[in-house]
Amino acid sequence: MLIAGNWKMFKGPAETAEFCLGLRDEDLEGVDVVVCPPFVSLAVAVQLLAGTEIAVAAQSVHWEDEGAYTGEISARMLRELGVYGTIVGHSERRQYFGETDETVGKRVHAALEAGLFVIACVGETEHEREDNRTEDVLRRQLSVLEPDDNLVLAYEPVWAIGTGKTATPEIAQEAHAFVKSQVEVPVLYGGSVKPDNAAELLAQADVDGALVGGASLELDSFTAICRAAIRS
Ligand code: 13P
């Protein structure tokens, strides 16, 4: 089981330090834990979690090593910092920053080549689900990805992100089974995962962990979800 906390655009270096100091005192044996702070907070997270089993990952990465790409960060730079992995293709990047299946594919490929662990995100919008297009959308998003030992996927239905509307365990299981039929790697569920719904989601056969947004920002709720994973 893998529990990853996607902090999105929350926590600068000071708040990151406070969180990591608390996290390293927790006993989380039995679950793989990853935190994904904003770029500016990666260094302090790497420093404070060094020597623990908790990994630090970025939220995106560019596909070139260096170049004229204002605002971007390369896999080589992340590696230099001691960062373990990165999220790629989060729906917020697709929705607000023009991320496409093609750029997701390029970012994932470059990150894996550079030796980073990758959490690649897929998921349909509410409209696409209502139109019965969920499988078509997932198939298209997954068409740019190939299995790799350092790749996991996150199924994050867009309608469940930050809305408090969680996919039912049945919906999650069905989507995860479909995702695995396309690209056979572990699949995390993301979308309003909270301490009180984590256990039933994680109990599904093809749910291999969670990518947690809002509930990963507080130590108590994040570690409660990690403990639900340990028990499942
Ligand atoms: P929430 O857990 O806040 O719904 O966010 C999910 C998410 O987008 C994780 O990447």
Active site residue 90: yes
CB within 8 Å of 26: residues ≥ 6 apart: 219, 223, 226
Does pTM surpass 0.95?
A: yes
Yes or no: say if 9 and 46 are a contact pair by the CB < 8 Å rule. Answer: no
Give CA–CA dist 219/225, Å, rounded: 10
| Mean pLDDT of the 42-54 span | 98
Q: Looking at ligand 1, which residue's alpha carbon is closest to its atom 2?
A: 213
Q: How far is the CA of 231 from the centre of ligand 1 (A)?
A: 22
Quote the mean pLDDT of the chain: 97
| Mean pLDDT of the 184-213 span | 98
Residue 54 has pLDDT above 90, yes or no: yes
pLDDT value of residue 141: 98
Active site residue 156: yes
Give CA–CA dist 46/221, Å, rounded: 21
The model's confidence at residue 166, banded by pLDDT at 50, 70 and 90, is confident
Least reliable range by pLDDT among 38-52, 160-174, 206-220: 160-174
pLDDT value of residue 163: 87
- CB of 212 within 6 A of ligand 1: the answer is yes
Catalytic residue among 124, 128, 156, 176: 156
- Give the range of the structural domain holding residue 51, as residue numbers without chain letter: 2-231
For helices 219-231 and 13-23, the axis angle rounded to 10 degrees is: 40
Q: How far is the CA of 131 from the centre of ligand 1 (A)?
A: 23
Q: How far is the CA of 215 from the centre of ligand 1 (A)?
A: 8
When divided into structural domains, the chain yields a total of 1
pLDDT value of residue 187: 98
Q: Both tokens of residue 199? A: 């256990």
Give CA–CA dist 179/156, Å, rounded: 11
- The three-state secondary structure class of 167 is coil
Residue 162 has pLDDT above 90, yes or no: no
Catalytic residue among 62, 90, 92, 99: 90
Instruction: Kindly calculate the radius of gyration of the chain based on its CA atoms and give it in whole angstroms.
Output: 16
Can you name the residues that pair with 154 across neighbouring β-strands?
Answer: 121, 188
| Ligand 1 atom nearest 215 alpha carbon | 2
What number of other Cβ atoms are within 10 A of residue 132's Cβ?
8
- CB of 6 within 6 A of ligand 1: the answer is yes
Residue 113: closest CA among 159, 160, 148, 163:
148
Q: Looking at ligand 1, which residue's alpha carbon is closest to its atom 5?
A: 213
Over residues 79-103, the pLDDT tens digits come to: 999 999 999 999 999 999 999 999 9
| Mean pLDDT of the 174-196 span | 98
Residue 32: closest CA among 60, 11, 6, 52:
52
Residue 164 has pLDDT above 90, yes or no: no
Domain harbouring 80, CATH code: 3.20.20.70
